[in-house]
Structure 1
Amino acid sequence: MPKVVIISGSPNPISRLNGLTDYAEAKLLGLGWEVSSLHVASLPAEDLVLARWDSSAIKDANKQIADADAVIVASPVYKASFTGVLKTYLDLLPQTGLEGKVVLPLFIGGTIAHLLTIDYALKPVLSALYARHVSAGVYAVDSQIKKTDAGGLQLDEELIQRLDGAVSSFAEATELFASLRTPSQP
């Protein structure tokens, strides 16, 4: 069973971004995957800001990534880029921290104007971390995820269709790469 870690770069624990990550998590759990989450804003701020590579919290987070077959990188868009807290954590991953892993970006922003943030802000950082298998990501705008009266999140149909396609492609790529790493049985 493949293991995936969802790295959330949202500084807000009740972000609309959760609509994207929760949906992806449910789809992957339905496929029998092992899913865990890493909310970078919950890591000790001093460890992040002071780049404490050797702190137990950072070591544990990095081990979680190292043990995964795949990674979802999720962030709201602020000032035409992903969040600073996400960048601060990614800076603490080993240089080859994403080598051999399939990565799926999930971003949300206030307008469609920042649609290319995944391509121009995130992908160069992922490349520096040796991510060679980056799936087509999903960029959503805030208006596509409504907060319900019950406190939940409702995704619009077009966004659900794009997420379904992206998560399916991500799952297929991850399983393909996992099969290439596993020696074939005689």
Structure 2
Amino acid sequence: MTQPLVVGALVGNPRPASRTLNAVPALREAVRRPLTGQGREVAPDGPLVDAAEVFRPGSTAVREALEDLATADVLVVASPTYKATCTGLLKAVPDQAPADWLRGTTAVPPLVAAAEKHALAVEPHLKPLLAELGAAVPGRGIFVAEAGWFAAPVGAGR
């Protein structure tokens, strides 16, 4: 029997109702459906690690999250766009990963942004980070424009 495709997610936004976090289930499904029509997810649809833990040296929660995410066949690594790149929160998690943490994993790098001027930010910032960690990053990165994708209430996070 074939093992189900494991699709994980790492989201660089600590807000529980963020637009970035809300985009992840659709992105996971877009990856999973054409490949197998089935699968299981690694990581809940809420924050995997409290943001404060990410910056705590030697955090057990971060180490366990990295181990869990390393079991994914495909890892969606999503971030809102801040200052034309991914968030520091997102970057701080893989900074704690061992070399070749994502060897054998395919990564899908979406960036969410309000302004079209950030459409190319995923290519020079997020894709090289994932490749450095050993992930295969086929094709172009994904730019998710907030306009037209989300109908979020005023004041909701990116």
| Same fold, TM-score > 0.5, yes or no | yes
1:23 lines up with 2:29 in the alignment: no
1:75 lines up with 2:61 in the alignment: no
5+ long unaligned stretches in structure 1: 150-186
5+ long unaligned stretches in structure 2: 154-158
Q: Quote how far apart the aligned CAs of 1:83 are.
A: 0.8
- Provide the aligned length of Structure 1 versus Structure 2: 147
| Contact 1:72-1:106 within 8 A present in 2 as well | yes
SS in 2 for 1:143: coil
Matches within 5 A, 1:96-175: 96-147=100-151
Provide Cα deviations, 1:57-111, integer angstroms capped at 9, x if missing partner.
1221011122111111111101101011000111011111111111111111011
Tell me the residue number matched to 1:37.
Answer: 43
Judging changes above 3 Å, is the alpha-carbon distance between structure 1 residues 41 and 92 closer, same or farther for their aligned structure 2 residues? farther
The 10-residue stretch of structure 1 (36-45 or 79-88) with the greater mean CA deviation from structure 2: 36-45
SS in 1 for 2:150: strand
Identity of aligned residues (%): 26
| Contact 1:4-1:33 within 8 A present in 2 as well | yes
Q: Quote how far apart the aligned CAs of 1:133 are.
A: 3.4
In structure 2, how many angstroms separate the alpha carbons of the residues matched to 1:57 and 1:86?
Answer: 15
Q: Which has the higher helix share?
A: 1
Tell me the residue number matched to 1:176.
Answer: none
Judging changes above 3 Å, is the alpha-carbon distance between structure 1 residues 39 and 88 closer, same or farther for their aligned structure 2 residues? farther
**What amino acid maps onto 1:137 in structure 2?**
G
Deviant stretches of 4+, over 4 Å: 38-42
Q: Quote how far apart the aligned CAs of 1:45 are.
A: 4.0
Matches within 5 A, 1:170-181: none
Match of 1:89 among 93, 109, 115: 93
> Cα RMSD over matched residues?
2.4
| Contact 1:97-1:130 within 8 A present in 2 as well | yes
In structure 2, how many angstroms separate the alpha carbons of the residues matched to 1:9 and 1:117?
Answer: 15
Q: Quote how far apart the aligned CAs of 1:134 are.
A: 3.6
**What amino acid maps onto 1:18 in structure 2?**
L
